[in-house]
Amino acid sequence: MQHLKILLASRSPRRRELLTQLGLHYQVIDVEVDESIVQPILPEVYAKEISEKKALMALANSEICVSEREILLTADTTLSVDGEIIGKPKDLQDYLQMMKKLSNRTHQVFTALTLVGKVDGEEKFVTMLSETAVQFSLLPEQFVRAYWQSGEPADKAGGYAIQGKMAGYIQSIKGSYSGVMGLPLFELREALEVFDHYI
């Protein structure tokens, strides 16, 4: 396992933390993709499409070369309420609307991950998806506004971080905690096994 190197096409510090948690060696690479949502699309389909799009964009970079030992990892986290995709908040007003939709309700978090490597010299794509139901209690207006001021919601799908200040309002979670953070570790372990790498 020590010989495996993950090429992480993500700027997310949470994904880096999760790879470190598993003791995986990784290198961060930069990938820019258009993540605009063309409705109607199922949130789980959207998450998979964006994850695979990131992988294709990364592979188009001539400096990135996958092998049996160097595996590309991309991921996308998409949040939805009643099938409607909730992206990252554009501004305060957008964020306040999101919080109204999420308050005192259960929403779904879909995280897709894509691994690209080689098996017996042949390039192989593996995409996996985790789905988690997250239930919020009632979100007080005072907390919602203070939370925005903290800066934490700005770059997060759904405008919150499960491991941050919102944790006190999460009543229950059914599914993958690491998936809500941005990288489902159970699915990652399963995907790595396709490439004969075991954690």
Task: Find the CATH number of the domain harbouring 129.
Answer: 3.90.950.10
Q: Is residue 55 one of the residues assigned to a domain?
A: yes
**Structurally, how many domains does the chain consist of?**
1
Determine which one of 76, 91, 120, 155 is catalytic: 76
Q: Is residue 175 one of the residues assigned to a domain?
A: yes
Please state, rounded to an integer, the average pLDDT across all residues of the chain. 94
Token digits of residue 3: 């010989």
Give 82: exposed, middle or buried? Use CB within 10 Å, 0-12, 13-18, 19+. exposed
Dihedral, CA of residue 110, residue 111, residue 112 and residue 118, to nearest 10:
-160
Q: Is residue 199 one of the residues assigned to a domain?
A: no
Determine the pLDDT at residue 37.
Answer: 81
| Positions of E strands within the chain | 5-8, 25-28, 70-81, 84-86, 106-119, 122-136, 170-174
Rounded to an integer, what distance in angstroms lies between the CA atom of residue 9 and that of residue 57? Answer: 10
Per-residue pLDDT of the chain (199 residues; tens, 9 = 90+): 448 999 999 999 999 999 999 999 999 998 888 888 877 899 999 999 999 999 999 999 878 899 999 999 999 999 999 999 999 999 999 999 999 999 999 999 999 999 999 999 999 999 999 999 999 999 999 999 999 999 999 989 999 999 999 999 999 999 999 999 999 999 999 999 999 999 8
Domain holding 100, by residue range, is 5-194
Give 9: exposed, middle or buried? Use CB within 10 Å, 0-12, 13-18, 19+. buried
Determine the pLDDT at residue 38.
Answer: 78
How many helices and strands (H and E) does the chain possess?
A: 6, 7
Determine the pLDDT at residue 195.
Answer: 95
Determine the pLDDT at residue 2.
Answer: 47
Determine the pLDDT at residue 3.
Answer: 84
Q: Is 91 a catalytic residue?
A: no
